[in-house]
Amino acid sequence: MYSEVDQFIDQYDGPQREVMIYLHHLLVSTYNLTDKIRYKIPFYYNKSWICYLNPLKNGVVELAFIRGNELSNYQGLLAHKGRKQVYGIEVSDLSKMPREKIVEIIQEAILLDETKLYGSKRKPIY
C-alpha cells in the first residue's frame, strides 16, 4: 500500500531519501507503528506520538522523539537543540548511521509509550 508518507518521501532524493526510506520501513514494518503526515512531516505513533522524521535543508534527516527528555540517552546520540521535550538524532548518510543504537532508542521510546501514559503538563480546565 502506497501511503501519504511514501508520497512525502518520494519528493526527496539521494542520501536524505535513502535514510527516510530505511527509517520509515523500520518504524512501520518492524515496529508496527502507524504513520501519518502531521505538520507537513511524517509522524509515527502507537498509543501516542513516538517520533517523527524531519528532513532538514542541509540534507540531513532528524529522527526526533516526542518524549526524548524521558529517554535514557544511554547511547549518547540524542540532542535537544534547545528544546525541552523533543530530542533527536541527525542522520546524513545511511552507511554511517549507527543502526543498532538507533534501534535501541526506538525500542526504549516504544516501551515508554506502552508503559507510561503521556500526560499533558497543562492544568485541567474546570
The confidence score (pLDDT) of residue 2 equals: 72
All three cell numbers of 29: 514494518
47 closest CA partner among 102, 103, 124, 112: 112
Give which of 111, 104, 103 is closest to 46, Cα–Cα: 111
Q: Is 75 exposed, middle or buried, given 0-12, 13-18 or 19+ CB atoms closer than 10 A?
A: middle
Over its length of 126 residues, how does the chain's per-residue pLDDT go in tens digits?
Answer: 678 999 999 999 999 999 999 999 999 999 999 999 999 999 999 999 999 999 999 999 999 999 999 999 999 899 999 999 999 999 999 998 999 999 999 999 999 999 887 665 544 444
Residue 111: CB partners within 8 Å, gap ≥ 6?
none
Cell reading at 25: 520501513
